[in-house]
Structure 1
Amino acid sequence: MGKDSKPKDAGGKGKGKAKQGGSGADESASKGKGKSGKAAADGLGTCTYVKARHILSEKQGKINEAYKKLQDGWLSNGDKVPPAEFAKLAAEYSECPSGKKGGDLGWFPRGKMAGPFQEVAFATQVGATSAPFKSTHGYHIILCEGRKN
């Protein structure tokens, strides 16, 4: 992905219980474990690789529609979206070539994806789905499937 500008709110719609990267994963890495040790326990800000799926749309309305389906099916109840269900929505809504593979991006290292995409991917907890966000490529939703060093 190309160089991106800072993340922008996707119009206020689609804000749910999913965590978003805000100022990026580097901030939690610099804070270290803290008293609770949570940064090390969940890998946020400390991992080197992330496995993710995503949905990409040029239009904000389309990404919000996909996110609403995620909310109605799982997120509004506090449930995690099953990867197979996310893959179905990616195949239906994503305009990225990865949409044909259920939005699967596989494992990618820190530094491969630029700007807000990397920030959100590395800041989203395993099993969690990000809120919609904007990059220079369009609007995205990310499902984090794993992380490793």
Structure 2
Amino acid sequence: MGKDSKAKDAGGKGKGKAKQAASGADESASKGKGKSGKAASDGLGTCTYVKARHILCEKQGKINEAYKKLQDGWLSNGDKVPPAEFAKLAAEYSECPSGKKGGDLGWFPRGKMAGPFQDVAFSTLIGATSAPFKSTHGYHIILCEGRKN
């Protein structure tokens, strides 16, 4: 099962960037962008650190419920979810200790997070929200807040 199927398995029916962000765009980012300048235009590049918030749920139904609230509030209109609103949902739904801090994971480097979580975190555009996806810890939604080298 590849990254694409993991994001879709969680039942995410997001539109546009949110769905695209979880689709494994990291594959092209990890190959480098050369002199084409594309890294600057797509916001992904080969950054070393990402700042993110997340919602973690053990059950797929619960993460889908949280994602539906994001869809109804912002994603269905093509809007970006404001970090403060994402934080409220994380506090309500997340079963991770970070939920008490609005899902804030702060800045973390490549290699710190496990497989699918890292792949999605580093391939989600700044300001975008991923579709639900599964990792060894449960089901997640990620909001990417920043990137740096």
TM bin, normalised by shorter chain, reads: 0.7 to 0.9
How much does 1:81 deviate? 0.3
Normalising by structure 2, what TM-score? 0.85
How much does 1:14 deviate? 5.0
How much does 1:23 deviate? 6.8
- Distance 1:143-1:3 versus aligned 2 partners, 3 A rule: closer
- Give the gaps of 5 or more residues in structure 1: none
- Distance 1:98-1:143 versus aligned 2 partners, 3 A rule: same
Contact 1:50–1:147 under 8 Å retained in 2: yes
What is the CA deviation profile of residues 102-138 of structure 1, one whole-angstrom value per residue up to 9, with x for unaligned ones?
A: 0000000000001000000000000000000000110
Normalising by structure 1, what TM-score? 0.85
- Structure 2 CA distance, aligned partners of 1:4 and 1:13? 13
- Structure 2 CA distance, aligned partners of 1:3 and 1:98? 24
Identity of aligned residues (%): 94
What is the CA deviation profile of residues 5-50 of structure 1, one whole-angstrom value per residue up to 9, with x for unaligned ones?
A: 9666213555664144567455223543378633233441410000
Q: Tell me whether 73-82 or 43-52 shows the greater mean CA deviation.
A: 43-52
Contact 2:26–2:120 under 8 Å retained in 1: no
| Matched position secondary structure for 1:4 | helix
- Distance 1:88-1:136 versus aligned 2 partners, 3 A rule: same
- Structure 2 CA distance, aligned partners of 1:143 and 1:101? 14
- Distance 1:68-1:98 versus aligned 2 partners, 3 A rule: same
What is the CA deviation profile of residues 72-93 of structure 1, one whole-angstrom value per residue up to 9, with x for unaligned ones?
A: 0000000000000000000000
- Structure 2 CA distance, aligned partners of 1:5 and 1:43? 23
- Give the gaps of 5 or more residues in structure 2: none
Query: Does 2:70 align with 1:70?
Result: yes
Contact 2:15–2:75 under 8 Å retained in 1: no
